[in-house]
Amino acid sequence: MTVNIELWATDGYMSTPDGNSIYIWGFSDAAGKKAQLPGPRIVVTQGDVVSITVNNILPEATSLLFPGQSGVLADTGTGPHLAQPQFDGSGNLVSLTDFADYPGNPDTNPASIKYTFTAGNPGTYLYESGTNPHKQVPMGLYGAIIVRPADYDPAIPTRKTAYGENTGTEFDREYLIVVSEIDPALHSAVEKGTEYKIREFKPRYWTMNGRCAPDTMFADGMGCLPNQPYGAMIMAEPGEKILIRYAGSGIENHPLHLHGNHTRIVAEDGRLLKNGATDLSYKRFTVLTGSGQTYDQIFTWSGLGYSPADPIPTTVPNLRNLGVGDAGWTLWSGSPYLGEKGDIPVGVTSFNGIGEYYFMLHSHEEMQITNWGEFPGGMMSMLAIFPAGTLGDTGIIE
Amino acid sequence: MTVNINLWAKTGSLSLPGAGTVPFWGFAGAAAGPAQLPGPLLEVPQGENVEISLTNDLTFGVSLVFPGQDFIPQPVKNPDGAFVSYNLETAPGGSLIYSLTASRPGIFLYESGTAPEKQIQMGLYGAMVVRPPGFDPGNPATWTAYGPGTGTEFDVEKILVISEVDTAIHQALASGDDPAAYNLDYFLINGRSFPDTLNPDDSGTQPYSGKITANSGQRVLLRIINAGFMNHNIRLQGIDIKVAAGDSRPLITPGLDKSYLKHTVTIGSGQSYDILFTAPAAGNYILYDRNLNCCVNGNNFPGGILTMVGII
Contact list in B for residue A290 (CB cut-off 8 A) is 233, 264, 266, 290
Contact list in B for residue A251 (CB cut-off 8 A) is 291-293
CA distance A271 to B241: 11
The end-to-end CA distance of chain A, in Å, is: 17
Chain A and chain B share a number of CB contacts under 8 A equal to 107
CA distance B125 to B110: 6
The answer as to whether A133 is a domain residue is yes
Contact list in A for residue B182 (CB cut-off 8 A) is none
> Which of B261, B281, B293 is closest, CB to CB, to A134?
B293
The answer as to whether B267 is a domain residue is yes
The answer as to whether A362 is a domain residue is no
Q: Do B239 and A70 touch (CB under 8 A)?
A: yes
Q: Is the previous residue joined to A376 through a cis bond, with omega within 30 degrees of 0? A: yes
The pLDDT value recorded for residue A110 is: 80
- Please calculate the CA angle A258-A210-A32 and round it to the nearest 5 degrees: 155
Q: Which helix (H) or strand (E) holds B242?
A: strand B241-246
Domain boundaries, position A134: 2-300
Interface of B with A (CB under 8 A): 183, 185, 194-195, 231, 233, 235, 237-240, 256-264, 266, 280-281, 283-284, 286, 288, 290-293, 295-296, 298-299, 301-302, 306, 308
Interface of A with B (CB under 8 A): 65, 67-72, 82-85, 92-93, 96-97, 130, 132-135, 137-138, 197-199, 201, 251-253, 268-271, 273, 275-276, 278, 280, 288, 290-293
The answer as to whether A396 is a domain residue is no
Nearest CA to CA, how far is A94 from chain B (Å)? 8
The answer as to whether A345 is a domain residue is no
If phi > 0 it is left, if psi is from -120 to 50 it is alpha, else beta; for residue A331 that is beta
Contact list in A for residue B280 (CB cut-off 8 A) is 70-71
The answer as to whether B57 is a domain residue is yes
> Of B109, B143, B177, which residue constitutes the final position of a domain?
B143
Say if residue B33 is in the same domain as residue B115. Answer: yes
Say if residue B105 is in the same domain as residue B217. Answer: no
The pLDDT value recorded for residue A35 is: 98
Q: Do B292 and A72 touch (CB under 8 A)?
A: no
Which CATH number is A221's domain given?
A: 2.60.40.420
CA distance B303 to B58: 31
CA distance B247 to B249: 6
Whether the CB-CB separation of A174 and A71 falls below 8 Å is answered with no
- pLDDT tens string for chain A (398 positions)? 999 999 999 999 999 999 999 999 999 999 999 999 999 999 999 999 999 999 999 999 999 999 999 999 999 999 999 999 999 999 999 999 999 998 877 666 789 999 999 999 999 999 999 999 999 999 999 999 999 999 999 999 999 999 999 999 999 999 999 999 999 999 999 999 999 999 999 999 999 999 999 999 999 999 999 999 999 999 998 889 999 999 999 999 999 999 888 999 999 999 999 998 899 999 999 999 999 999 999 999 877 666 656 654 545 555 555 555 555 555 555 544 554 445 556 665 555 566 677 889 999 999 999 999 999 999 999 999 887 788 888 888 88
Number of domains in chain B: 2
> Which of B185, B240, B308 is closest, CB to CB, to A199?
B185
Other Cβ atoms less than 10 A from the Cβ of A130: the count is: 26
Say if residue B122 is in the same domain as residue B200. Answer: no
Nearest CA to CA, how far is B196 from chain A (Å)? 11
Nearest CA to CA, how far is B79 from chain A (Å)? 40
The answer as to whether B262 is a domain residue is yes
Identity (one letter) of the amino acid at B179? P
Nearest CA to CA, how far is B158 from chain A (Å)? 21
Which 3 state secondary structure label does DSSP give A217?
helix
The pLDDT value recorded for residue A276 is: 86
Whether the CB-CB separation of A179 and A126 falls below 8 Å is answered with no
CA distance B212 to B190: 12
Say if residue B46 is in the same domain as residue B107. Answer: yes
Whether the CB-CB separation of A209 and A38 falls below 8 Å is answered with yes
The answer as to whether B118 is a domain residue is yes
> A289 to chain B: nearest residue by CA?
B266
CA distance B68 to B226: 13
Is pLDDT larger for residue A237 or for residue B278? B278
The answer as to whether B156 is a domain residue is no
CA distance A367 to A205: 9
Residue among A213, A162, A217 at smallest CA distance from A384: A217
Mean pLDDT of chain A: 90
User: B125-153: per-residue pLDDT in tens?
Assistant: 999 999 999 999 999 999 999 999 999 99
Say if residue B10 is in the same domain as residue B139. Answer: yes
Say if residue B126 is in the same domain as residue B220. Answer: no
CA distance B259 to B89: 39
Identity (one letter) of the amino acid at A305? G
Identity (one letter) of the amino acid at A300? T
* ipTM of the complex model: 0.94
User: B191-205: per-residue pLDDT in tens?
Assistant: 999 999 999 999 999
Long-range contacts of B139-146 (CB under 8 A, 24+ apart): B145/B105, B145/B106, B145/B107, B145/B221, B145/B223, B145/B244, B145/B245, B145/B250, B145/B274, B146/B105, B146/B106, B146/B244, B146/B245, B146/B250, B146/B252, B146/B274
> A134 to chain B: nearest residue by CA?
B292
- Please calculate the CA angle B17-B159-B307 and round it to the nearest 5 degrees: 40
Partners of residue A244 on adjacent β-strands: A175, A297
C-alpha distances in Å from residue B312, one per residue of A176, B213, B220, B268: 38, 7, 13, 31
CA distance A357 to A136: 38
> Which of A85, A96, A291 is closest, CB to CB, to B233?
A291
Which 3 state secondary structure label does DSSP give A135?
helix
Nearest CA to CA, how far is A273 from chain B (Å)? 7
> Of B143, B172, B190, which residue constitutes the final position of a domain?
B143
Nearest CA to CA, how far is A115 from chain B (Å)? 13
The pLDDT value recorded for residue A339 is: 44
Say if residue B124 is in the same domain as residue B22. Answer: yes
Identity (one letter) of the amino acid at A136? Q
Instruction: Return the minimum-mean-pLDDT range out of A68-82, A349-363, B8-22, B280-294.
Output: A349-363
Contact list in A for residue B237 (CB cut-off 8 A) is 65, 67, 96-97, 130
Whether the CB-CB separation of A54 and A43 falls below 8 Å is answered with no
CA distance A237 to A259: 16
Number of domains in chain A: 1
Which CATH number is B13's domain given?
A: 2.60.40.420
The pLDDT value recorded for residue B179 is: 78
Partners of residue A207 on adjacent β-strands: A180
Domain boundaries, position B53: 2-143
| Maximum Cα interatomic distance, chain A, rounded to a whole number of Å | 75
The pLDDT value recorded for residue B173 is: 95
The pLDDT value recorded for residue A314 is: 45
The answer as to whether B183 is a domain residue is yes
